Structure 1
Amino acid sequence: MLFSTFNTNSIRARLPIIIDWLDQIRPDVLCLQETKVQDKDFPLCKFQDLGYQAVFSGQKSYNGVAIITKRPVSEIRSGLYGVSDEEARFISAQIATIPVINVYVPQGFAPGTEKFKYKLQWLTDLLAHMEKEYDPGRPLLLAGDLNVALEPIDVFDPEGLRGAVGFHPDEQTLMRKLLDWGLVDIFRKHHPQGGHYTFWDYRIPNAFKRKIGWRIDYLLATAPLAEKSRDVWIDTQARVLEKPSDHTFLVAEFDIDLSP
Structure 2
Amino acid sequence: MKIASWNVNSLNVRMPHLEQWLGQAAPDIVALQETKLDDARFPDDALVAAGYRSVFAGQKTYNGVAILSRESARDVQIGIPGFEDEQRRVIAATVGELRIVDLYVVNGQDVGTEKYGYKLRWLEAVHDWIADELQRHPRMVVLGDFNIAPDDRDVHDPLVWNDSHILTSTAERAALRRLYDLGLHDAYRALNPEAGDFSWWDYRQGGFRRNLGLRIDLTLVSEALRPHCVASGIDREPRTWDRPSDHAPAWVELG
User: Shorter-chain TM-score: what band?
Assistant: over 0.9
CA-based RMSD:
1.1
Q: Secondary structure at the match of 2:182?
A: helix
Shift of 1:133: 2.5
What are the ranges of 5 or more consecutive residues in structure 2 without an aligned counterpart? none
Distance 2:154 2:186 in 1: 12
Match of 1:139 in 2: 139
Aligned equivalent of 1:195: 196
TM-score by length of 2: 0.97
Partner of 2:239: 239
**d(CA) in 1 for partners of 2:4, 2:151:** 22
Q: Percent identity?
A: 35
Q: Deviations over 1:74-128 (max 9, x none)?
A: 1001010211110000000000111000000010000111111111111110001
TM-score normalised according to structure 1 size? 0.96
> Is 2:82 the counterpart of 1:78?
no
| 1:96-175 mapped onto 2 (5 Å cutoff) | 96-135=96-135, 138-162=138-162, 163-175=164-176
Give yes or no for contact 1:144–1:218 (8 Å, CA) kept in 2. yes
Instruction: Return the alpha-carbon distance in structure 1 between the equivalents of residues 139 and 132 of structure 2.
Output: 16
Say whether the 8 Å CA contact 2:52–2:68 is kept in structure 1. Answer: yes
Number of residue-to-residue matches in the alignment:
254
1:228, distance to aligned residue in structure 2 (A) = 0.2
1:246-257 pair list within 5 angstroms = 246-255=246-255
2:229 is equivalent to residue 208 of structure 1: no
> Which runs of no fewer than 5 residues in structure 1 stay unpaired?
256-260
**Equivalent residue, structure 2, for 1:258:** none
Runs of 4+ more than 6 Å apart: none
Instruction: Give the Cα separation in 2 of the matches to 1:63 and 1:75.
Output: 22
Distance in 2 (CA, whole Å) between partners of 1:31 and 1:59 is 16
The question of whether the paired residues in 1 share the 8 Å contact of 2:99 and 2:137 is answered with no
CA contact (8 A) 2:186 2:220 kept: yes
Helix, strand or coil at the partner of 2:185: strand
Equivalent residue, structure 2, for 1:54: 54
Distance 1:20 1:137, change over 3 A: closer
Q: CA deviation at 1:217?
A: 0.3
Contact 1:137 1:222 in 2 (8 A): no
Q: 1:137 to 1:21 in 2, by over 3 A?
A: closer
